[in-house]
Amino acid sequence: MNLPYDITTNLVWQGFESLKVAISDVATGHRRMAMFGSPPGFGKTYWAHRILRWRHAKYDESYPKDEFALVKTLWDFKRRNIGVGIFDDADSLARKETTSNILKVSFGHGGKVLFGTPTAMKNEEYRNAEDEKSKRRYNPTIHPPLFPVLMRLVWLSNLNYTDPALLDALPEHFRALVSRGLDPVWIPGDIEHEGFEVFIYTHWAATEGNMLRGKGTPTRCRVMQYRFIWTTCTA
């Protein structure tokens, strides 16, 4: 069907095309990490899951809030051979010096975690113990003080990390992570035009983009929604 607009000129569509390419590159190992932001409800998480499934990447999603949860997640993903980790609404990690430093070393040039908590150190002693009684106390779910990070990262946010004012307020370690390949992309909400670009993209995604089908919407409902949006858009 001929649409009354050229979707390729739509800023939201262009942003999501960049998202699809970048996440596909992360899934296939051509990129170590990618970051995308937009106002809430744009479908970032939907597309991330869809592309990773399409690329047959083994992935999981997490919402770590502090350094302990972050390291626990990285170790858990390593133990389970997770190829791609999705961090969704994990903005507290970017604000803290400790967590942003762990991220910089994990996904920058280092590719490892060094986080020697007392629990981790004691557990490592159990792992290296010579007597069997102590060895049995070793817990493999507890991270060691030092371990490599092999997974790749997709970070999704509702904040605009391309905004210099936001970046200037964040720790130096996070800014270093950005320069080492995180490369944030912001998908605009087109507030200047009352969200018209978003409306056009929504129409395209729900119809020509087959997003309703991907969400499992029954055919009859898709047709009804298609007609409603189309009539509204062309009125």
Mean pLDDT, the chain cut into blocks of 10 residues (235 residues total)? 81 92 96 94 92 97 95 97 95 95 88 94 95 94 95 96 95 93 90 82 82 51 42 44
Closest listed residue to residue 78, CA positions, set 23, 147, 156, 155: 147
pLDDT of res. 206: 82
pLDDT score for 215: 52
**CA distances in angstroms from 75 to 35, 70, 110, 142, listed in the order given:** 21, 9, 16, 8
Fold (CATH) for 7-104+149-190:
Rossmann fold (3.40.50)
Tokens of 77: 């993903």
pLDDT of residue 154: 97
pTM over 0.95: no
Domain boundaries, the chain: 7-104+149-190, 112-148
